[in-house]
Amino acid sequence: MTTALRRLRNYIDGEFRDAADGRTTEVVNPATGEAYATAPLSGAADVDAAMAAAEAAFPAWRDLVPAERQKVLLKIADRFEERAEELIAAESENCGKPIALVRSEEIPPMVDQIRFFAGAARMLEGRSAGEYMEGFTSIIRREPVGVCAQVAPWNYPMMMAVWKFAPALAAGNTVVIKPSDTTPASTVLIADIIGSVLDELGHSRGVFNVICGDRETGRLMVEHKVPAMASITGSVRAGMQVAESASKDLKRVHLELGGKAPVVVFEDTDIAKAVEDITVAGYFNAGQDCTAATRVLVQDSIHDEFVAALAKAASETKTGAVDDEDVLYGPLNNANQLKQVKGFIERLPAHAKIEAGGEQVGEKGYFFAPTVVSGLKQGDEIVQQEVFGPVITVQSFSDEKQAVEWANGVEYALASSVWTKDHGRAMRMSKSLDFGCVWINTHIPLVAEMPHGGFKKSGYGKDLSSYGFEDYTRIKHVMTSLDG
């Protein structure tokens, strides 16, 4: 006997629907490697329907006073808390994530982020009205951009959906969002939650729509004539394709792409504390995080001691089943990602040394051991390219100048950290590091009030914070004659 697969469906204009042509794709639980559901493989007809729903709902949603949009978002946050166990179960099955960590590390910040943007809806700021030409008064209006086409990734499908829909809805936009084809379950559940809130408060359910599908579905969304903005969190390649597609009709684009965060550890650092924090920041979520602490640069005087301590910490770090409360991370998200991580290890140069891990673990699923690789050079593939797995690389540097050069010497520029007791050095490094975020003596904490976003091939635009909120608005100048 075979177990019947659960059927996930698109959410368009308040209705759960199959793809118009009936096509589906299987959804696999990465902890088992087995399919547990099917999801629509949406095509042009589905994209058209979702965009039409969002477009029809936009005028009424745009014209609501901010307090009304705030009320909706606060109710959504409340409902996330009420249905937390459903969301946790969906995300754990989606990604193979440890249940306890989804409960403690994802639900609370998501709820907080929705509530932050609920407040931000009522705090749009701009220059005050004034007379900049004699006889005329100028006013600045901030307005929503319109329908937003949003594509979320598979590493944090639930949280990244929040990062996208919350600021967009708060600013008065309507949304069509596509989860990754490997992780649609939690986003479909979010649609049920948001749809019910919109219905209860008397608003069109077309304000929020979910369509499942693959890269082709995403391309159809971005190239569609209705959206005024396309937002994607994903790979550099995907971001470039979105930017190119959006350029055909000059859509606004918001891109949060890859990362290769340098972790610069100076000789005056508390090694034990640094290793403890870097281990968590490097292996959490199986290293599948654009800001993960996976590229460590250590001053040569403490290199050997640091590597030994890090290798020991890696060997003591657990990966495993979703119900094991002692594990730090679960599996890689899919078979292709496991193959990619293995490939980096298999192609290591002769001068590299695997200090810990380096292999797949378990008889089923896509688990990979916590890994430390030392002896690397700046030009090595594993140093330059994003592994997106539980692999921490270590390089040795001689002085501050070399640390800055090597830290900045990659195509990515999302996040970084500096570890030192020297305040002046920390300030110099924070100025010199060419990354959108610099942590000092920590790595990876995020708060809703502060922006998240990078430079160079890590993309442009900000998530979270008032800056992320403003990205979903446009500016209009209104000038009126004082002569009446």
The set of catalytic residues is 256, 290
DSSP 317: -
CA distance 264 to 395: 10
CA 7, distance to chain mean position in Å, is 26
Structure tokens at 434: 């060419």
Cβ distance 358 to 349 under 8 Å?
no
**Rounded-to-integer distance, Cα 388 and Cα 236, Å:** 13
Which residue has tokens 């030192």? 420
What is the longest distance spanned by two Cα atoms in the chain?
A: 82
CA of 28: how far to CAs of 25, 324, 387, in Å?
Answer: 10, 20, 22
User: Can you tell me the distance from the alpha carbon of 120 to that of 18, in angstroms, rounded to the nearest whole number?
Assistant: 35
The secondary structure element, H or E, covering residue 35 is strand 34-40
Compute the chain's Rg from CA coordinates: 23
At 348, list the tokens: 């290591």
Taking the C-alpha atoms of residue 368 and residue 362, their distance in angstroms, rounded to an integer, is 8
Q: How far is CA 191 from CA 4, 80, 288, 302, 463, in A?
A: 23, 11, 25, 51, 21
Say how far apart CA 223 and CA 245 lie, in whole Å. Answer: 6
Look up tokens 């007809």; give the residue: 45
Helix crossing, 215-223 with 44-62: angle to 10°? Answer: 50
Helix residue ranges per DSSP H, 203-355 = 215-223, 236-247, 271-283, 303-315, 335-346
Phi-psi bin for 190: left (phi > 0), alpha (psi -120 to 50), beta? alpha
Cβ-proximal residues to 23 (8 Å cutoff; 6+ apart), any chain: 40, 41, 43
Separation of first and last alpha carbons in the chain: 80
Where would I find the H helices in 122-256? 157-170, 185-200, 215-223, 236-247
How many other C-beta atoms are found inside a 10 Å radius of the C-beta of residue 20? Answer: 16
